[in-house]
Structure formats: structure tokens, C-alpha cells
Chains A and B, each alone.
Chain A
Amino acid sequence: MVEIITPVLLLMLTFFAFSLAFWLYGISQSRPIISSLLHPLVTAPILVSAVLLLINIDYSDYRKANQPLFFLLGTATVALAIPLHQQFHHIRNLTKPLLLTLFFGASFAVISALSIAWILGATPETLISVAPKSVTTPIALGIAEKINGEPGLTAGIVVFTGVIGAVFGPLLFRWIGISDDRIKGFVLGICAHGVGTARAFEVSGKCGAFSSLGLGLTGAITAMILPWIIIYAFK
């Protein structure tokens, strides 16, 4: 009996944790710093993990039960084409600054990650898994496979990067005086992929469209360039 309804309960757990997290996020809106730290992408996974550890359920079972959400993540990615289309007139005039920022941001993300990892004493295996951290998960997994990184580790690192970027990005922008939604969006997309893009849509539609653009372009160029850098750096 319990085995039969377990998948449904585990899927419900995600929805329940998210609703609770979303409510908490809503009531904290008056305090921007606290509310940033209480983003549903931080609180909901902590709640779910706590419950899973408490009732002693493997992550692989939870993952299997939540397969529908992984599938819908793909559908939502396709849906990013619509805001991109609607906001394209803003993007068209900015081709050069966007491309410049993209190439700089995408390469800086990889170079800074590798050099900081090296300073902190990471082994070559860890270095390789850390390199694709700013790319959206499915692309990162493809890259990790190509450069012989550890896929599980890469997936976790990518998600954590996205959450860090999405949570602290808006605070950083305020701190350094960035108020342009186009900049906020594009940088969130480059540095924090899909998670950053989800956050960018909370700011504005324009911010979200620029983030979708950054996400797509960074994924594509990192996937094409990174395997070559790794091959030269480690062989």
C-alpha cells in the first residue's frame, strides 16, 4: 500500500514545500535582504531534503517520483522563446555590447572558477567537474561527459551556482548601482543559467528576456569551446 502511493506523496512533497516557501517569500517582501535569502529556490529544497532525511528516503526515489517536473523544465525552456520574441526589438540594437559581454562573462566564469579552485587546492578531477558550472544543467552534463568530469558532481555544482547567483545577484546589483533591467537580466542568464532566469522574470519581462538570451548563448558557446580548453590544459 505505502509503496503504491509513495511516488504521489513525493511529488506532493515538492508542491507542498514550494507553496510553503513561496508563502514565506511573500511575507518577507518588505525586507529585501531577508527576502532574497528566503527565495523559494533556497528554502524549498532545504525543506524537501530535511523531510527526505527524516523519513529515510533515497534521493534517487525522490528524483524518479518527480520526473514530471524534470520533463516540464524542458517545456518551460522552450517557452522562453516567447519573451525573447516579444522583447527582440530591445535586443536587436544592442548586438555588439551583448556579444562583448557574453564572451567576456562566459570565459571569465570558467577561468575564475578554475584558478580559484586551483588556489584552494582542488584536485584535477574536481577542477574538471567545476569548469562548466555556469551553464544550464543539461548542457553542463553533456560537457562533463565529454571532458570526463563526474556528472553527479557537475549537476550539483551547476545548481548551487544558479542558486548563489539568483539569491545574491539582485543584492550585488543594488550594491554596485546597476538599475538597468537589461544588464541585470543578461548577467543573471550568463552567470546563473535557468535558476537566474527564473529570478529575472520576477524583476520584469524585459529582464527575463535578456536572461533567456544570456542563458541560451552561454550554454551554446561554452559547450563548443570548453572541451577544447580542457583538452589543452590537462593533456
Chain B
Amino acid sequence: MLKGLLVLLLFQGIGEASSHYSGLPIPGPVIGMILLFIYLQLSSRELSTGLGDAAHFMIRWLSLMFVPACVGFFFLTKIPANQWLAVTGVIIISTLVTMIITALLMKYVMAKPKLSKPKAEQ
């Protein structure tokens, strides 16, 4: 588990450095995630239980780590009073509509045998 956490931190560091020096608009942790994924795919060894446990632990408490950022929403003072309706309306309507339409589209294209190989069923 400790070794696993070390691996995660190592890739977070590599990601931060690559994001900073490459000038890509992608944040460090996302680059770290992509690099670790590529490493795991290329490596022939089985995934170590330590890394599996560490990842499982971090992901289990993902919601907790979002709490401080979510609190920020209640302290937004930058929105002019006449823009509140537009902002909240947009978020609610557009998010819900996008979810419904995207989910239905994906269900439709997945049912097309030409697009998804039969092996995908299961």
C-alpha cells in the first residue's frame, strides 16, 4: 500500500512537471493518470496489490476531496445579481439535457452491430 502510494505520487510529480514544461493546457494529474495508464498497459507484470489497494483507497474517498471545492460555490460573489438566473438556469437545464441526449445516443450507437464488435456484449 505504501509502495502503491509512492507510485501514485511519483506519477503525479511527473505529470505536474510535464504539464509545466510542455505548456499543454492539460493539468498535471490528468497527464500523470495518462502516463501511469500507458505504463500499466505496456508493463508485462501483473498489477501489484499494493498499487491496487492504494488506488482503491484514494478513489473511495474521492467525494471527500471535492468538498472544499464545492464549498466555494456558496462563496461566489463575482456573479452580478441579474446574472444569477442565467447562470443557475444554464447549469441545470444544459447539464440535464446533455446527459439525457448523450446517454440515448450512446445506447443507440452501441446497439449498432457495425460499430461495436460482438465481443463487447456481456
Chain A facing B: main interface SS: helix
Q: Are B107 and A178 in contact, with the CB atoms below 8 A?
A: yes
A85 with B41: in contact, given A63-B72, A94-B110 (CB under 8 Å)?
A: yes
Cβ contact within 8 Å between B106 and A117: no
Instruction: Please determine whether B25 and A143 come into contact, CB atoms closer than 8 angstroms.
Output: yes
* Any B CB within 8 A of the CB of A164: yes
The chain A residue with its CB closest to the CB of B110 is A97
One of A79, A133, A172 near B55 (C-beta < 8 A): A79
Q: Taking A121-B86, A122-B86, A223-B26 as contacts, is the C-beta distance between A112 and B107 under 8 angstroms?
A: no
**Of A44, A77, A169, A172, the contact of B67 (CB 8 Å cutoff):** A44
Please, which residue of chain B has its CB at the minimum distance from the CB of A42? B70
CB distance from B21 to the nearest CB of A (A): 15
A117 near B90: Cβ-Cβ < 8 Å: yes
Per-position binary interface string of chain B over residues 78-91, scored 1 when its CB falls under 8 Å from any chain A CB and 0 otherwise? 11101101111111
Task: For chain A, give the interface size range.
Answer: 35 or more
In Å, the complex CA distance between A99 and B121 comes to 18
Q: Digit string of A102-118 for contact with B (CB within 8 Å is 1, else 0)? A: 00110011001100110
CB–CB A41/B95 < 8 A: no
B33–A80 CB distance below 8 A: yes
Residues A198 and B66 in contact in the complex (CB < 8 Å), given A45-B71, A122-B90, A159-B72: yes
Q: Given B63, B83, B119, which contacts A40 in the complex, CB threshold below 8 Å?
A: B63
Closest to B114 in A: A96
Q: Which of B66-112 contact A (CB under 8 A)?
A: 66-76, 78-80, 82-83, 85-107, 109-110, 112
Nearest-Cβ distance from residue B90 to partner chain A, whole angstroms: 4
Enumerate chain B interface residues (CB-CB to A < 8 A). Answer: 5, 8-9, 11-12, 15-16, 25-30, 32-34, 36-37, 40-41, 47, 51-52, 54-56, 58-76, 78-80, 82-83, 85-107, 109-110, 112, 115-117, 119-120
Contacts from A to B (Cβ < 8 Å): 14-15, 17-18, 39-41, 44-46, 48-49, 52, 59, 62-63, 66, 69-70, 72-86, 88, 90, 93-94, 96-98, 100-101, 104-105, 108-109, 112-113, 116-117, 120-123, 126, 130, 133-134, 136-139, 142-143, 146, 150, 152-153, 155-157, 159-165, 168-169, 172-173, 176, 178, 180, 182-184, 186-188, 190-192, 194-195, 197-199, 201, 208, 212, 216, 219-220, 223-224, 227
